[in-house]
Amino acid sequence: MSVGTMLFADFCFHVIGEFLSPMPPITELDSLLRMGGGKLIPTLEAIPVEMQKRENRPRRLVIVSD
């Protein structure tokens, strides 16, 4: 069963930076994005490959920086 509103279902995210306190850690951001239906792409190098996957083609890429 899905929890949340699927607010991020149309997006892939790449998070870059250190996210020092008081910012939330990347693990918390990842959980929030996944609960909302988003997908986290772990490395810059992986972006082209991940965005070409069939399930990600309709999604938009968002790069989040601290």
Any idea where the domains of the chain sit in the sequence? 11-65
d(CA 56, CA 30) in angstroms, rounded, equals 17
d(CA 30, CA 52) in angstroms, rounded, equals 21
pLDDT of 31 above 90: yes
Residue 3's pLDDT is what? 60
pLDDT of 45 above 50: yes
Cβ–Cβ < 8 Å for 66, 20: yes
Mean pLDDT confidence for 16-29: 90
Mean pLDDT confidence for 56-61: 96
Confidence of residue 4 (pLDDT cuts 50, 70, 90): low
Confidence of residue 1 (pLDDT cuts 50, 70, 90): very low
